[in-house]
Every structure is written in structure tokens, then in C-alpha cells.
Chains A and B, each alone.
Chain A
Amino acid sequence: MADQQKNYDHLVINTCVLAGTIMIESGSEMTRVNDTVLRIARNAGLKDANIYATLTGIIVSGGVDDVGAQVGSIDKRVLDMEKVAKVNELSREYAAKKIDIEQFYDDLKNIDRLVAMFPLWVQLLGAGLVSGSLVVVFQNNLPDFGITFLVGMIGWAVLYFLNIYVQIRFLSEFIAAMTVASLAILSVKYGFGIKADDIIIGSLMPLVPGIPLTNAVRDALSGNLISGPARGIEALISACALGFGVAIALHFF
């Protein structure tokens, strides 16, 4: 009996750690992570559960004698909002007793299979839409919509493939920004575009670290003084990488 309870508590804590890890990896803000994990633990009957989450690791303790705390480390961070939504949904279903803790843990383990990323061509289309339409919104420049759409798509493709094959952080942003700026200048030189500056501004927008920045502000304001500045520095370095990329392209062409 005691053994069974211990196994159950272990499973609950493992579920909590896994849920928190997935949420932080996918780019959720910290208050939501703390809230969700504590809610799962309370719903499972661990009243005194506690959590300490940072950007690079998460510790969950059960608050009962025979199970200690579990640590999960977080090495990669990709933006995947659907995973955040999925963990949220699973936690709701668990709270409503629609699924039990084994099912919950199993679903979290297989979340990569349950939640599909958009295929590459849809992502490219999205990057193109962001680039093209923001040129119109920011710079009132309708004629450059098409070429910016194209350059933005190429920039995103460069980032995507470098992230898969090279896996050096910030280098992919740097090279993508350089490609975008060079293509923009060349396209104006050969008469496809009108204003190189506008094309660069638009095509860089999908690469700008928008979510890390908003999360940084939000984490810092909610009192998480470890994760907020850490995210801010991450966003700052990628913004600098983008800036250097553009600056080098501007020098060469």
C-alpha cells in the first residue's frame, strides 16, 4: 500500500517536471509554468508541492516524506505555442478528471507526436506575410510588398536550415540577417525593388526576438529576477547578431 502510494507520488512529480520542462522549452512565461505545475500537483493530492523554475532548469518537490525532489534541465528553447496550449489543455482535462495521471504522463511523453509543427512551406508563407505586410504598415510602401515577401521567405529559410544543420546559437541569426540585407540591396540594384531600407526592415521582422523580449519584461515584472534578465540577455544577443549581420552587408554592398 505504502509502495503504491510512493509510486503514485513519483509519477505525479515526474509529470509535473515534464509539463514544466515542455512549457519553458516552448516559450511560456514563468508565472504560467509555476501556476500550471502547482495546479497539477494539488489536483493529484500533493498539497505541499513546491516548484523552483528558471530558464535553464526546473525543480519540483512533492512535500511528502518518501519522495524527494526531481530536477529537469532545459537546454534548447524553440518557440512552439501549440505545445504550451496543449499542456494547458491536458492540465484542464486532468483537473476535470477526464484523464488520469498515467494518461497525462503518457501524453506529455509523446507530445512531439501529438503536436505537429507547421510544415516548412507554411512557415515560409508566414514569414513572407509578416515581412510583406509590415513593409506596408511601417513604411507605407505598397509597391515593395512582393519583393519583401520573397526576401523574408528566403531569410526565414536560411535561419531554419542553419538551425537544423549548424546548431551554433546566434550564428544563424547573424547569417540570416546578412543574407536578407544583401538580397535587399541587390534586388534594388537590379530593379526588382524600390527602397532597400524598407525591404530590409520588413524582412528582418520575422527574425526579431519578439516573444523572448515580451517574456523578459513579463518575468521581470512578476518578480522572477533570474529568468527575466536571462531572457532579456538572450533577446539582446540575438538582436545584436541581427544588427551586426545587417551592418556587415551594408558595408560590403
Chain B
Amino acid sequence: MTFFIIKCICVYLSGIGFGLIVNLPHRALNIAGINATIGWLVYYWIFSTWGGLGAPNFFGGLVIGILSVIIARWKKMPSILFDVPGLVPLVPGGQAYNSIKNFALGNYQVAFNYLSEVVWIAGSIALGFIVAELVNKIRQKIRRVQARN
């Protein structure tokens, strides 16, 4: 349990650290870190209940995509400021590294296994983003219809 809390803090810190690298505005830093934490918590929750690679990353990307548009509306800033730091903890860094390492060492079979994991994870995150965009479009349309009535 302690380790879980440490991990949550680390996700928050990594979001903020990435914000510092890409020169995020000061007032967006904290909220970007929180966005990253929420996205990762969703990922972790689904990972520990269902397991697998696709579903956790898909829902993580989906939640981050939806949340960052909501935050962007609220803070009146572009949504890209919030979703990029949010994605950092989901990036398949370990698998990508292992695939390169095994390529360099000549274990092509293992390398391709890791590479396909990378493609699968990146694809699920991207798909989550697409669906998030769809959800946001639908929300806009509902709001427009409501405004008309």
C-alpha cells in the first residue's frame, strides 16, 4: 500500500517534470500533474482488475483525452497542454527499450515480441484518444442543441 502511494506521487512528479521540460505555463503545471495521476489511476485500476495490455491503455488514454478537454475549457488554455504530460506515465518505455536491446544483442525473436507489445500499447492509447475526441464532439453537439432550445 505504501508503495502504491509512492507510485502515485511519482506519477504526479513525472507529469510536472515533463511540463518543466516542454515549458508549460506555470499555472498549468499542477493541474497537468493531477491529470496524469488520474489517467494513470484509471490505467492501474483496469490493469489490476482485467489485466492485459489493450484495455488499460485504451481507458487511460480515453480518460486523459476527455479530462484534458474539460480542463482546457475551464482554464481557457489549449487542451494539448494537459494531455501530453498525462500520457507520459502510459508510454511503453520499458518494452521499447527491451526491444532495442534485444535487437542490438541479436535476439530477434524476443525483440519482435517486445516490438509488437509496443505497437499494441501505442495503438490502444491512440484509439483511446480518438474515442475521447468523439465523446467531446458529441458533448459539443448536445450543448449546441440545448442552447438552441
Contact = CB atoms under 8 A, between A and B. Distances in A.
Interface string B78-105: 1011011001110101101110110111
A217 B81 contact: no
A213 B93 CA distance: 14
Interface stretch (A41-49, A57-65, A135-143): A135-143
Given A133-B11, A246-B104, A118 B97 contact: no
Query: Do most interface residues of chain A lie in helix, strand or loop, or is the interface mixed?
Result: helix
Interface residues of A, number: 58
Interface residues of B, number: 46
A243 B118 CA distance: 14
A94 to B, nearest CB: 14
A129 B83 CA distance: 18
Contacts of B9: 133
Contacts of A92: 76
Nearest to A145: B10
A125 B97 contact: no
Contacts, number: 151
Interface in B1-41: 3, 6-7, 9-11, 13-14, 16-25, 28, 40
A117 B87 CA distance: 22
A218 interface: yes
Contacts of A251: 104
Nearest to B98: A197
A29 interface: yes
A30 B86 CA distance: 20
Interface in A154-211: 156, 197, 200-202, 204-206, 208, 210-211
Contacts of B14: 129-130, 133-134, 137, 205
A214 B83 contact: yes
B80 A81 contact: yes
Interface stretch (A7-15, A68-76, A82-90, A101-109): A82-90
Interface in B51-87: 76-78, 80-81, 83-84, 87
A50 interface: no
Contact of A129 (B7, B16, B84, B93): B16
A131 B21 CA distance: 12
A217 B24 CA distance: 21
B21 A156 contact: yes
Nearest to B10: A133
Given A134-B89, A137-B40, A251-B104, 19 more contacts: A81-B24, A81-B25, A81-B80, A84-B80, A128-B17, A130-B18, A130-B21, A132-B13, A136-B7, A142-B6, A200-B97, A201-B94, A204-B97, A205-B93, A206-B18, A211-B22, A214-B87, A247-B100, A247-B103
10 contacts: A79-B23, A92-B76, A118-B23, A122-B20, A125-B20, A133-B13, A206-B17, A211-B22, A218-B129, A247-B103
User: Which are the 9 A-B pairs with shortest beta-carbon distances?
Assistant: A126-B20, A129-B17, A247-B104, A133-B10, A130-B17, A243-B100, A133-B14, A126-B17, A136-B10
